[in-house]
Structure 1
Amino acid sequence: MADKTGWLAYKRLLGYSKAYWGAFALGVLGFILNAQTEWAGAQLIKFVIDAIQNKSQADKNLFPLFVIGIFFLRGVGTFMGSYYLSLVARNVVYQLRKELFAKLLVLPNQYYHLHSAGHLSAKLIYDVEQVTEAASEALKTLVREGFVVIGLLGYLFYTNWRLSISLLIIGPIAAGLVRKASKRFRMLSHKIQHTMGDVNHIVNETINGFAVVKSYGGQAFEQQRFEQASRENLKQSMKMVVTASLNTPIIQFLMAVAMGFVIWLALQPHILGDVSAGEFVAYITAAGLLSKPVRSLTDVNSKIQKGIAAAQSVFELLDSPVEPDHGQYQASRVRGDLEFKQVSFSYPTGERVLHDINLTIPAGKTVALVGRSGSGKSTLVSLLPRFYELNEGQILLDGQPLSDYTLASLREQVANVSQKVVLFDNTILHNIAYGSLANKSFAEVEAAAKAAYAHEFIEKLPEGYQTRVGQDGTQLSGGQRQRLAIARALLKDAPILILDEATSALDNESEFYIQAALETIMQHRTTLVIAHRLSTIEKADLIVVLEAGRIVEQGTHAELLAKAGLYAQLHSRQFAEDEDLPS
């Protein structure tokens, strides 16, 4: 079964070369031409020996021309084969890498929850490199040496078919060894891929969390983790080396045994008969020339099996289901009426985080979601842009189910500012006018930055809006990063706004100005606000209190305080904490 799936993966990989069949055919033609020069060399030895024995000076004079001709044809064939097959292979890998990255962009959120960034990037970098080996060097060796073996065997059988049959005795034994080695190569390749993913994952975590590692003295622990993963990778790699190192000499030994048997037979008087010295030497030379291509074909098996294992890993990702996008409706701009009808949601792990949510939000209103950590606030708002699909119930936007909208159209209607700000290693201008906002004018970008109180600090930077922010915005403070995220949301000008702890990274002064800016942009927009600081949401049109994934209270700030329920408890507790803070 493993062999079947391996062959199917390799067949699918080679299927990518169909678009380049012309170049592939020229490459194969080049290696066929190259292969003919191998047995032609053996025939040339026969020609020379016979010329010496027959004392034919005319034939002797032709010998240099034949040598030049053979090497010229070999050079032309080698160039054609190597160039055109490399052209095909590199284009295949280029296409595969493009498809893989494109797939990463449309995978559902839960896929990223189940697979670490380190393992995913290992697929894109390490696994694709292994596919490169199978699709380029291994393919070239397979075609080149394969045709050499076919050419030499054809010559041997043409010269003396009875004697040549004995060479095939080792065929079944060698095939059995190659088959067994192939299974082990593929099994070890899968393990190496996994260990490379572990190494990559640890490196990514350590780099991203370097501040925590240094602050809490985690260097020794991370070093130990890295060494353990690297040691496991080394262990599996050495197992691969041992298998490859044993496989090739065993096949060569079998070839030597077969060659010894052939030579012994050939030297028997009744076998040689009236064969000339030239024919005998040419035959033995051609048989001896088989050793190199057979060894190369044996060596290439490990590369092919690595490539097959990598291709299986890559195709597994490529075949993963994408975000469902069956909606047909495309809205230019919605009003923003939202209605949650008996909405329940569970993560792929089976943990239910939302239970029977019923909530109506009129267009242009501000709704604040309040509750303890883990109550389901962030999960609820993430259902709006369909980062997750509902398990039960329905969410309506302007009276139409979210599933009726195309994903692109739906997400155009929603702007999101979360506690975790994502910035790219590019300019401030690029980070504000990101993606579909890239066509916005500089004046619009500047206006959004001013409204987010980011313009002033941007102008003080060395290159202003052209200043690069570093990986994940490391050149900026937390408050500055948050203001850029708010400016991005302002520039999008979507009718629905989600603020998930949007002011959490700001100091008190910045928060005052940002809060004023947010109050301005929230006008005429449907806004959902998540904030632990209850003072920031007191002016909301509706406050919804969540507890363990259920709505337990809803009303205005004054109404909820009058109820003396969970909201009043949270409010009084936070008020007391604020009173305790030093002035």
Structure 2
Amino acid sequence: MNSNTSSQQRGMTFKPFLKLLKETKPSYGLLALAIGLGIISTLVSLVIPMFTKSLVDGFSLASVSKLQIAAIAGAFIAQTIAGGISIYLLNFLGQKMVAGLRDRLWRKFLVLPVSYYNDNRTGESVSRMTNDTGIIKTLISEHLANLFTGIISIVGSVAVLLYLNWKMTLVLFAVIPLSALILVPLGRKMYNISKGMQDETASFTATLSGVLSEIRLVKASGAEKREYEAGRTGIMNLLSFGIREGKINAMISPLVSFVFMMLLVVIIGYGGMQVSAGVLSAGELVAFILYLIQIIMPLTQLTTFFTQIQKATGASERIIETLAAEEEIYEGASEANGTEGPIIVEDLSFGYKNAEKVLSGVSFQMLPGEVTAIVGPSGGGKTTLFALLERFYEPQNGQILLGDQPVRNFSLRSWRNLIGYVSQESPLLAGTIAENLSYGLEREVSEQEMRQAAAMAYADGFIDELPEGYQTDVGERGVKLSGGQRQRIAIARALLRNPKILMLDEATSSLDSQSEAVVQKALGNLMQGRTTIVIAHRLATVVKANQIIFMEKGQITGRGTHEELLQDHELYREFATQQLQMNLPELTGEIEEAEPDYDKDSGSGRRPTHSRIGGSVSES
């Protein structure tokens, strides 16, 4: 009973790999051709021992005709060419299949929801794409042919040996199963080790990615020693798995050599006795030894194949798990165009996994073209509300409507195309300023449009002063630019998108006062005529909003204008009083806008006023 169960489990382990292989839709014609050529090459090699037998038994080259010599030479050449083409085709197929697999994974990574990346580290995803697919490629391109040619070689050799001397052949059958009893358990151990090594490799890759992407934080915090120790732990874990893998390989190779030498000694000893007795000719003994080599060598290759397929099975399981993860649904019943009406948040509740609710019963309305500000203490659920508005997550209760239509009815792409998002982090990708400005736009962006958007974002001054202008490389995550510069590029990017809905998440909180003044003016240009929702801790930035919503612990505890909340909401009044002591005019909405002097970070010269006419950027 236990034997059957373990046998079923061993059979089951190959299913993920075979399923993945089938899903890559390989060219079965090319695969059959490659394997067929490999088999032809193997069949030719089976003739060689018989030719050697004839030579040893008194057959001379003088008795061979030129046609026979040409045929033998042609057979050897054909074997070489067939073997070479087979190896090339299998390598070609392996590369094509893995490229297709990586293409599927890359597409999948891009359509997986944000929640997936909350639970899975980036480095682990990178490991799926590189390490795991590489293991599968190695199996297909380097070891798959050995399975078929090895089986043909073993079966063919055994058949000839039975014909030559069935008694000596039975001696082989007595020894080979004994070696299999040792090699099969070792193969199972190799599977477990390989699976653990792939997990550890993914974890180590994730650690490296996380540390190197935040190297400035590491250095600023003096955490080099701590991160070195964390990395060294991963390195030592990989070393441990590598050593264990080495131990298995160290047992497999000598065992195969031992079996081969033992068989060779037995065959030579027993065969020598047969030759002395006149039962076996010397040529037959030589042929027997050559066929024995043609059994042992493929057995070694098959052992390597099954070791590699154990690795590929572990890799396949993880890839299939990733490909099976739930992805975002981009299609919808209709397309959103932004003219449907106000945005209505209706009894919205949400919590991450099994944790307590971050939002509970949130309801409000945003009228087209008006500004809604979300304020309140940290941890109140403001950023989570933004994530739900962008449909990074689906609410657990309640709904968000555009006009009278739930936004989930609109295609995800059309809904997000309505939204322009500017956050406090101002994310930029490695590349030029021009590439970052036009990022995500399907249409071609002209240089004039780019310059107009940059002017409205007060970014044209510092861009023009850069040696390469709009072709300046910003570095990874925009590290070559200051915070204020990155923020203004993000605003210019939002202007080029010409969104109907604008979401500003603490867009000025990380800036110095001079940069903040410029960015505030740029945001003023961006907000004109758009439905805007703003998260802000500094009340000075939102006192003129059409409505201010005060959130505490995931609930709305106050709603109204700045003046109304000052009168009716105690905590808002406390917030305002604290900031009022620092800047009374701003909080009362009476701040006088003044043009700052611009330095390299802020731009240069005084900016003209701008307006948006007919949805395009223009200068007035």
Per the TM superposition, whether the score is higher than 0.5 is yes
Which residue in 2 is equivalent to 1:40? Answer: 47
2:236 corresponds to which letter in structure 1?
R
Which residue in 2 is equivalent to 1:10? Answer: 17
**Alpha-carbon distance, 1:408 to partner:** 0.8
Bigger shift: 246-255 or 538-547? Answer: 246-255
Bigger shift: 169-178 or 223-232? Answer: 169-178
> Which aligned pairs between 1:76-95 and structure 2 lie closer than 5 A?
76-95=81-100
Distance 1:542 1:51 in 2: 107
1:217 to 222, 229, 242: 222
Q: Is the counterpart of residue 315 in structure 1 residue 320 in structure 2?
A: yes
**Across the two proteins, how many residue pairs are aligned to each other?**
577
Which residue in 2 is equivalent to 1:401? Answer: 406
1:11 corresponds to which letter in structure 2?
L
Q: Is the counterpart of residue 252 in structure 1 residue 253 in structure 2?
A: no
3-state SS of paired residue (2:154): helix
**Alpha-carbon distance, 1:274 to partner:** 4.6
3-state SS of paired residue (1:105): helix
Identify if the C-alpha distance between structure 1 residues 409 and 4 changes in structure 2 by more than 3 Å, giving closer, same or farther: farther
**Alpha-carbon distance, 1:297 to partner:** 1.8
1:387 corresponds to which letter in structure 2?
F
Distance 1:577 1:214 in 2: 34
3-state SS of paired residue (1:147): helix
> Which aligned pairs between 1:431-446 and structure 2 lie closer than 5 A?
431-446=436-451
Bigger shift: 145-154 or 231-240? Answer: 145-154
2:79 corresponds to which letter in structure 1?
R
> Contact 2:453–2:493 (CA<8 Å) still a contact in 1?
yes
3-state SS of paired residue (1:436): coil
2:490 to 485, 489, 503: 485
> Which aligned pairs between 1:50-449 and structure 2 lie closer than 5 A?
50-52=57-59, 57-59=62-64, 65=70, 68-269=73-274, 274-325=279-330, 327-335=332-340, 337-449=342-454
Distance 1:321 1:113 in 2: 14
> Which aligned pairs between 1:507-522 and structure 2 lie closer than 5 A?
507-522=512-527
3-state SS of paired residue (1:573): helix
Identify if the C-alpha distance between structure 1 residues 16 and 168 changes in structure 2 by more than 3 Å, giving closer, same or farther: farther
3-state SS of paired residue (2:246): helix
Deviations 1:82-111 (A, max 9, x none): 011111111001001111111000111111
Deviations 1:327-367 (A, max 9, x none): 22112343451111111001124232000111111111110
Distance 2:156 2:211 in 1: 55
Identify if the C-alpha distance between structure 1 residues 29 and 472 changes in structure 2 by more than 3 Å, giving closer, same or farther: same
Identify if the C-alpha distance between structure 1 residues 402 and 161 changes in structure 2 by more than 3 Å, giving closer, same or farther: farther
Distance 1:37 1:272 in 2: 32
1:500 to 500, 505, 509: 505
Bigger shift: 337-346 or 65-74? Answer: 65-74
Bigger shift: 171-180 or 106-115? Answer: 171-180
> Contact 1:26–1:80 (CA<8 Å) still a contact in 2?
no
3-state SS of paired residue (1:352): coil
3-state SS of paired residue (2:431): coil
Identify if the C-alpha distance between structure 1 residues 117 and 202 changes in structure 2 by more than 3 Å, giving closer, same or farther: same
**Alpha-carbon distance, 1:283 to partner:** 1.8
> Which aligned pairs between 1:463-482 and structure 2 lie closer than 5 A?
463-482=468-487
**Alpha-carbon distance, 1:262 to partner:** 4.2
Distance 1:561 1:549 in 2: 21
**TM-score, length basis structure 2:** 0.88
**Alpha-carbon distance, 1:145 to partner:** 3.0
- Which stretches in structure 1 are left out of the alignment for 5+ residues? none
Which residue in 2 is equivalent to 1:24? Answer: 31
**TM-score, length basis structure 1:** 0.93
> Contact 2:332–2:411 (CA<8 Å) still a contact in 1?
yes
**Alpha-carbon distance, 1:268 to partner:** 4.9
1:411 corresponds to which letter in structure 2?
R
Identify if the C-alpha distance between structure 1 residues 458 and 143 changes in structure 2 by more than 3 Å, giving closer, same or farther: farther
**Alpha-carbon distance, 1:383 to partner:** 0.7
Identify if the C-alpha distance between structure 1 residues 534 and 170 changes in structure 2 by more than 3 Å, giving closer, same or farther: farther
3-state SS of paired residue (2:57): helix
Distance 1:356 1:568 in 2: 24
3-state SS of paired residue (1:290): helix
**Alpha-carbon distance, 1:393 to partner:** 0.8
Identify if the C-alpha distance between structure 1 residues 18 and 405 changes in structure 2 by more than 3 Å, giving closer, same or farther: closer
Distance 1:253 1:374 in 2: 68
Deviations 1:129-166 (A, max 9, x none): 11222222122333343333233223223333443233
Identify if the C-alpha distance between structure 1 residues 32 and 75 changes in structure 2 by more than 3 Å, giving closer, same or farther: same
Deviations 1:456-492 (A, max 9, x none): 1111111111111111111111111111111111111
2:549 to 544, 547, 556: 544
Distance 2:277 2:368 in 1: 99
Identify if the C-alpha distance between structure 1 residues 217 and 506 changes in structure 2 by more than 3 Å, giving closer, same or farther: closer
**Alpha-carbon distance, 1:77 to partner:** 1.8
Distance 2:151 2:432 in 1: 53
Which residue in 1 is equivalent to 2:594? Answer: none
Distance 1:558 1:470 in 2: 45
**Alpha-carbon distance, 1:507 to partner:** 3.0
**Alpha-carbon distance, 1:62 to partner:** 7.6
**Alpha-carbon distance, 1:576 to partner:** 3.9
2:567 corresponds to which letter in structure 1?
A
Q: Please identify which structure carries the higher helix content.
A: 1
Identify if the C-alpha distance between structure 1 residues 106 and 154 changes in structure 2 by more than 3 Å, giving closer, same or farther: same
3-state SS of paired residue (2:360): strand
Bigger shift: 270-279 or 92-101? Answer: 270-279
Distance 2:11 2:348 in 1: 45
Bigger shift: 66-75 or 93-102? Answer: 66-75
**Alpha-carbon distance, 1:191 to partner:** 1.3
1:456 to 452, 461, 464: 461
> Contact 1:17–1:88 (CA<8 Å) still a contact in 2?
no
**Alpha-carbon distance, 1:64 to partner:** 5.6
**Alpha-carbon distance, 1:437 to partner:** 4.5
Identity fraction in percent: 32
**Alpha-carbon distance, 1:221 to partner:** 1.2
> Contact 2:275–2:282 (CA<8 Å) still a contact in 1?
no
> Contact 1:445–1:491 (CA<8 Å) still a contact in 2?
yes
Distance 1:442 1:70 in 2: 66
> Contact 2:87–2:141 (CA<8 Å) still a contact in 1?
no
Distance 2:583 2:203 in 1: 44
> Contact 1:46–1:279 (CA<8 Å) still a contact in 2?
yes
